[in-house]
Amino acid sequence: MSDGVLEFTGVTKRFGAVAAVSDFSARVEPGVVTGFLGPNGAGKTTTMRILLGLVRATGGTATIGGVPYAKLQHPLQSVGAVLESSSFHPGRSGANHLKVYAHAAGLPVSRVDEVLGLVGLADAAGRKVGGYSLGMRQRLGLAFALLGDPGVLVLDEPTNGLDPEGITWIRGFLRLLAAEGRTVFVSSHLLAEVQQTVDAALIISRGRLVYQGALEDLADPTEYTTVVDAPDRDALMQALTAHGASFDVLRTGLSVRGSGAAEIGAVAAQAGIALSALQRRGPALEEVFFELVSGVRVHPSATSGGDAAAPAVEPEPAVDEAEVAEPEPGVAEPETHEPEPEPETEAEVPEPEAAEPEAAEPEAAEPEVAEPEVEILEPEAEAPEPEPEPEIAVEPEPEPEADVAPEPEPGGEESEDVDEAEEVEEAEPLDRPWESHEKTESDVEADRFFSSFDEDAARAARVAADEAADREEGEQR
């Protein structure tokens, strides 16, 4: 077994335009269980693959005991890693699977039985891996990681698929390995489990480090309060006041800030006051975690990695946006002034619109032209004989008859004056303007087109008549 410190310095990995890891700098010490936390897609697995030489970093370095993984003389004896629990041949037994790696690494075969006993798979050593449950596969992966008795363990989601008994077992087992002086680096996104397993934590978000340190240092000490209560609350309040402690009275007791539970307990003991409640309250791990990964909270440890301080820059724009949001009411004021000239422009717009009615006046002038037409018809009404007027109204309906019959019929009345006939002739063009219209080539073509249908109809009628005549002659014969 060899000890080693894991150190990341400015590690960056890009997949095209996507930065999976960006300027990640951190240090993992031996002797403690260090949790590697972050939401899904934060870059945890990619960082671990870079450490194990499975992925080449775009920039930066990741070393184990000061040496890259590719340059380790005895990798299996130096680092035990489990990134996937499904990389087993389903037709091979658990013991034979480990024997293959033992032979490849030059390790004694007796080590296989030892590690299977450590992880609780001694009874299932001869069973095929295809019949293992997910939890048994996790244990087999851990047995493989311990095969070379390494000083460094890198485990990706080791509690995934384990039942409550298995989770409790691996929690104590990892602590036992760390107590032996090994470096235990464990990734997870189960915060409740991590809180009971790890001693220190690295929190990554969007490929950047946002926290590094012990779990108890996640929140600011000033955010914690000590809640204390006693059957004789008045005596407790007097003792705290005499001690110089500031407190708030709650329904469940007294909330004391700036003093730990041990200090408050000692004050109550000196005053001879029996306590009914004494506990420390502060922000929950989940609350702090979400604030860190979202950028709402910035921890000073994130700046220890140099460029890793970038997460601290992310919340700053949020503050700037809030600051920008404040002057928005001030900006809205000139906007309220802008509508003032807008009515002016609206008043200006109707002016050309008012010109449109002026343009409509000439359109109204057309009825004015029609007025003299009515005036011309008025003398016709004054004429003693109003008969030509109905004739004029009837004439537009049968156009061809107007050319042939109507004129000779009134012409038979020799008593009509020539002046009246001239007036009628003058009135006819006004009532039938289409007669004075000059036909264009398109009109001639249209007339020719529609007249062809009349000719066809006449031709069909003649053919039908001839056929009918032939049938009659045939019947008579």
Three-state SS annotation for the chain: CCCCCEEEEEEEEEECCEEEEEEEEEEECCCCEEEEECCCCCCHHHHHHHHCCCCCCCEEEEEECCECHHHCCCHHHHEEEECCCCCCCCCCEHHHHHHHHHHHHCCCCHHHHHHHHHCCCCCCCCCEHHHCCHHHHHHHHHHHHCCCCCCEEEEECCCCCCCHHHHHHHHHHHHHHHHCCCEEEEEECCHHHHHHHCCEEEEEECCEEEEEEEHHHCCCHHHCEEEEECCCHHHHHHHHHHHCCCEEECCCCEEEECCCHHHHHHHHHHCCCCCCEEEEECCCHHHHHHHHHHCCCCCHHHHCCHHHHHHHHCHHHHHHHHHHHCCHHHHHHHHHHCCCHHHHHHHHCHHHHHHHHHHHHHHHHHHHHHHHHHHHHHHHHHCCCCCHHHHHHHCCCCHHHHHHCCCHHHHCCCCCCHHHHHHHHHHHHHHCHHHHCCCCHHHHHHHHHHHHHHHHHHHHHHHHHHHHHHHHHHHHC
More confident residue, 157 or 183: 183
In the predicted model, is pLDDT for residue 230 greater than 70?
yes
Specify the pLDDT at position 188: 84
Q: How many domains does the chain have?
A: 5
**Residue percentage of the chain with pLDDT more than 90:** 30
**Residue percentage of the chain with pLDDT more than 70:** 67
Specify the pLDDT at position 85: 57
Residue 117 domain-assigned?
yes
In the predicted model, is pLDDT for residue 417 greater than 80?
no
358 and 420 both lie in a single domain: no
User: Chain-wide mean pLDDT for the chain?
Assistant: 74
Residue 199 domain-assigned?
yes
Instruction: Name the domain boundary from 397, 414, 432.
Output: 432
Name the pLDDT band for 303 (thresholds 50, 70, 90): low
423 and 443 both lie in a single domain: no
Question: Going by DSSP bridges, is the β-strand pair 152-156/79-82 parallel, antiparallel, or unpaired?
Answer: parallel
Specify the pLDDT at position 12: 94
Name the pLDDT band for 412 (thresholds 50, 70, 90): very low
In the predicted model, is pLDDT for residue 371 greater than 70?
no
Residue 175 domain-assigned?
yes
178 and 137 both lie in a single domain: yes
25 and 113 both lie in a single domain: yes
170 and 136 both lie in a single domain: yes
Specify the pLDDT at position 162: 80
In the predicted model, is pLDDT for residue 427 greater than 90?
no
Instruction: Name the domain boundary from 162, 196, 217.
Output: 217
99 and 187 both lie in a single domain: yes
CA 1 to chain centre: 48
Span of 113-127, 246-260, 431-445 with lowest mean pLDDT:
431-445
Residue 301 domain-assigned?
no
Specify the pLDDT at position 86: 61
Question: Going by DSSP bridges, is the β-strand pair 183-188/152-156 parallel, antiparallel, or unpaired?
Answer: parallel
In contact, 281 and 225? CB cutoff 8 Å: yes
Average pLDDT over every residue of 158-185:
88
Average pLDDT over every residue of 385-410:
46
Q: What is the CATH number of the domain that holds 254?
A: 3.30.70.790
Specify the pLDDT at position 168: 87
Name the pLDDT band for 56 (thresholds 50, 70, 90): very high
171 and 202 both lie in a single domain: yes
Highest mean pLDDT among 7-21, 313-327, 397-411, 456-470: 7-21
What are the distances in angstroms from CA 196 to CA 82, 177, 252, 341? 21, 16, 27, 68
88 and 169 both lie in a single domain: yes
131 and 255 both lie in a single domain: no
Specify the pLDDT at position 218: 77
In the predicted model, is pLDDT for residue 464 greater than 60?
yes
Q: Which domain holds residue 463?
A: 438-477
In contact, 4 and 27? CB cutoff 8 Å: no
Span of 55-64, 67-76, 261-270, 458-467 with lowest mean pLDDT:
458-467
45 and 188 both lie in a single domain: yes
Residue 289 domain-assigned?
no
Instruction: Name the domain boundary from 162, 190, 217.
Output: 217
Specify the pLDDT at position 190: 75
Specify the pLDDT at position 377: 44
Specify the pLDDT at position 3: 58
141 and 19 both lie in a single domain: yes
pLDDT tens sequence across 129-151: 888 888 888 889 999 999 999 99
Average pLDDT over every residue of 94-121:
91
Residue 411 domain-assigned?
yes
137 and 202 both lie in a single domain: yes
Can you tell me the distance from the alpha carbon of 210 to that of 208, in angstroms, rounded to the nearest whole number?
6
